[in-house]
Amino acid sequence: MIDAAPTGTGHGQDTEQTMKRYEQLVELLATDIRNGRLSPGTRLPSIRTITAQHGLSASTAFKAYYRLEEKGLVRARPRSGYYVTASAMQQLAAPALGAAPGKASSAPARVAPRLDISELVFAVLGAAQDPGIVPLGSAFPAPELFPLQRLGKSLARVARQLHGPDTVASLPQGHLALRQQIALRYLGMGMAQSAQELVVTNGALEALNLCLTAVAQPGDLIAIESPGFYASLQALERLKMKALEIPVHPQDGLDLAALDQALKRHPVKACWFMTSFQNPLGASLSLEKKQALVALLASHEVPLIEDDVYGELYFGSRCPLPAKAFDRKGLVMHCSSFSKTLAPAYRVGWVAPGRFGAQIERLKLMTTLSASLPAQLALADYLQHGGYDKHLRKLRHALESQLSSLLAAIARHFPPGVRVSRPLGSYFVWVEFAQGFDTLALHQAALEHNISVAPGPVFSARRHFRHCLRLNYGHPWSERFEAAMQTLGRLARQQSPYAAVAPRI
């Protein structure tokens, strides 16, 4: 049953509530389809039945069915109704990671040996920069998904308006106009964040590194995710810090029980986690678990560096709140950027630093001094006038459609028994082959066919997850990507234990 809508008095309020209820119905039916409760070929309830069951208007029910049709999950048959498509079966053919019994818990937290991961990361991921390579191993979505021309107009306009005093007035914290626009984004999520406290950085990666340097010293122990973002491993390696790997469940996110035990047993100086759409798994913590995470760290006075670059790439009805929303002691440093959602080449990010603002500002002043002022002003202009939310809706729709295409291709071409994550945002999936499979060897073989993938060992301080890989669905689906997936599937079948398995038809 869709939540009953409170009565409103204004037309705008009624429209907003109708949209909210239509999105709830879309999520409800899409979840039933993806979970197999509505199988391919099943006829969906009639509009009359839906309106009676959920207390909706016919127009709201039609909007929900139209949206499901856009996603490729249902198709209308003249004078018959709406039916679940065959492509939904392809999406469900590969088992979801974490869905099987016995997968709810991972290994305990472990301190990694001396970090030595950068050479492997550079060797593996460098190939993804070649324009002739199919970028399934890339860390970015396709440039054509971003409004680059519109951003260029904003950049040209603000460049003409730059004056001498403006070029140094906002160092090192960042231009106030951009910080005010970022503060409005926080408000739209449902949390207050003062623009005066924000620090603008050269992308989120600088923000994350500044936070790490502000709270830890060489030799300190930092809790990170496993599998986790390889840049966190590289940062610890560069700063000569130690990594404590906390397991991440592909559906439930960070293992809070393992973290609790680790905090009791080890002198953890800080944590670096992604609480929404974690890279590489795509997993997210629930709001309850985010709140519990913040409370747990607060009880130990351990800071959290929250990497939230994918938070606005959600497929649901609203942006997930970050852990920062539950911070009452100023221990959470929330880092994000526009690189994944709007302007990768502008390299503009930020941090909401909590109690560590003064340290981070000083470090920024001593290192890079300031993010590019023209880029900051161009983004501020676009956020105010360019239709950022409209762009984000279009981008999310494209990514969700591309996820469906990738999952269908995995089901068609990969060996039986592979398991794949089902993210509700971002643009990565995590694929798990049978134990003993070697994705580093698959990576090398794929490069010979001009295909890049991101093998599992680059996401682990101890180079685990050799039977896993990350795939990027951030590019519009085409015959080129379909052919690449077919080739990957063939190469995977040639590797033991799949060599004797006949291709599925």
pLDDT of 7 over the 60 cut: no
Closest CA to 303 of 329, 325, 322: 329
Convert the pLDDT of each residue in 135-163 to its tens digit.
Answer: 999 988 999 999 999 999 999 999 888 77
Q: Are residues 158 and 47 in the same domain?
A: no
pLDDT of 106 over the 60 cut: no
Tell me, yes or no, whether 500 lies in a domain: no
* HSE-CB of 361 using CA atoms within 13 angstroms: 16
Predicted local confidence at residue 55, as pLDDT: 81
Q: Spell out a b/e string for 369-388, using b for 16 or more CB atoms within 10 Å of the CB, else e.
A: ebbebebbbbbbbbbeebeb
Report the chain's C-alpha Rg in angstroms: 23
Q: Are residues 123 and 172 in the same domain?
A: no
Convert the pLDDT of each residue in 16-64 to its tens digit.
Answer: 444 467 778 887 887 777 666 777 778 888 888 888 878 888 878 888 8
Q: Are residues 358 and 243 in the same domain?
A: yes
| 308 or 103, greater pLDDT | 308
User: The whole model's pTM is what?
Assistant: 0.80
pLDDT of 94 over the 70 cut: no
| pLDDT band at residue 288 under the 50/70/90 scheme | very high
Single residue among 326, 359, 388 that ends a domain in this structure? 388
Closest CA to 44 of 66, 19, 23: 66
pLDDT of 10 over the 50 cut: no
Cα–Cα distance, 393 to 380 (Å, whole number): 19
Pull the structure tokens for residue 214.
């502000």
Q: Tell me the backbone φ, ψ of residue 6, rounded to 5 degrees.
A: -70, 145
Single residue among 362, 388, 414 that ends a domain in this structure? 388
pLDDT of 317 over the 90 cut: no
Pull the structure tokens for residue 234.
């590289």
Cα–Cα distance, 228 to 333 (Å, whole number): 18
Q: 374: Cβ–Cβ under 8 A, 6 or more apart, which residues? A: 155, 158, 159, 162
The range of the structural domain enclosing residue 62 comes to: 11-88
Cα–Cα distance, 310 to 426 (Å, whole number): 5
Amino acid present at 26 = V
Q: Are residues 318 and 467 in the same domain?
A: no
- Select, from the ranges 15-19, 385-389, 479-483, the one with the highest average predicted confidence (pLDDT): 479-483
Tell me, yes or no, whether 6 lies in a domain: no
CB 494 within 8 A of CB 415: no
Tell me, yes or no, whether 5 lies in a domain: no
Convert the pLDDT of each residue in 238-257 to its tens digit.
Answer: 999 999 999 999 888 999 99
Q: Are residues 152 and 137 in the same domain?
A: no
Count of other CB atoms within 10 angstroms of residue 176: 17
Q: Are residues 167 and 291 in the same domain?
A: yes
Q: Are residues 84 and 135 in the same domain?
A: no
CB 312 within 8 A of CB 189: no
Of all residues in the chain, the percent with pLDDT exceeding 90 is 63
Tell me, yes or no, whether 1 lies in a domain: no
Pairing assessment for the beta strands 428-432 and 419-420 based on DSSP bridges: antiparallel
Domain at 351, CATH number: 3.40.640.10
Overall average pLDDT of the 192-209 stretch: 96
Overall average pLDDT of the 206-229 stretch: 96
Sheet of strand 468-472: strand arrangement? 419-420, 428-432, 468-472, 454-455
State the sign of the Cα–Cα–Cα–Cα dihedral 263, 268, 270, 273. Answer: negative
Amino acid present at 437 = F
Closest CA to 471 of 424, 417, 415, 406: 406
Predicted local confidence at residue 165, as pLDDT: 67
Q: Are residues 171 and 296 in the same domain?
A: yes
Q: Are residues 205 and 334 in the same domain?
A: yes
Pull the structure tokens for residue 86.
């065959």
Domain at 82, CATH number: 1.10.10.10
Mean pLDDT of all residues in the chain?
Answer: 86
Count of other CB atoms within 10 angstroms of residue 442: 21
pLDDT of 107 over the 70 cut: no
Tell me, yes or no, whether 498 lies in a domain: no
CB 219 within 8 A of CB 241: yes
Amino acid present at 178 = L
Q: Tell me the backbone φ, ψ of residue 496, rounded to 5 degrees.
A: -60, 140
Q: Where are the beta strands (DSSP E) in 145-273?
A: 199-201, 221-226, 242-249, 253-254, 268-273
Q: Where are the beta strands (DSSP E) in 9-158?
A: 74-77, 81-84, 110-111, 134-135
The C-alpha angle 505, 431, 429, rounded to 5 degrees, equals 110
Single residue among 331, 356, 388 that ends a domain in this structure? 388
Tell me, yes or no, whether 61 lies in a domain: yes
Q: 458: Cβ–Cβ under 8 A, 6 or more apart, which residues? A: 117, 120, 121, 124, 125, 230
Predicted local confidence at residue 496, as pLDDT: 62
Domain at 140, CATH number: 3.90.1150.10
Overall average pLDDT of the 480-494 stretch: 96
Predicted local confidence at residue 500, as pLDDT: 43
Of all residues in the chain, the percent with pLDDT exceeding 70 is 85
Convert the pLDDT of each residue in 257-283 to its tens digit.
Answer: 999 999 999 999 999 999 999 999 999
Q: Are residues 352 and 242 in the same domain?
A: yes
The number of residues making up the chain comes to 505
Overall average pLDDT of the 359-374 stretch: 93
Tell me, yes or no, whether 59 lies in a domain: yes
Tell me, yes or no, whether 502 lies in a domain: no
Q: Tell me the backbone φ, ψ of residue 497, rounded to 5 degrees.
A: -95, 20
Predicted local confidence at residue 167, as pLDDT: 64
Domain count along the chain: 3
Predicted local confidence at residue 26, as pLDDT: 82
Burial degree of 335 (CB within 10 A; 0-12, 13-18, 19+): buried
Predicted local confidence at residue 171, as pLDDT: 79
Cα–Cα distance, 120 to 460 (Å, whole number): 11
Q: Are residues 214 and 257 in the same domain?
A: yes
Overall average pLDDT of the 203-208 stretch: 96
Predicted local confidence at residue 483, as pLDDT: 97
pLDDT of 8 over the 60 cut: no
Q: Are residues 136 and 155 in the same domain?
A: no
pLDDT of 127 over the 70 cut: no
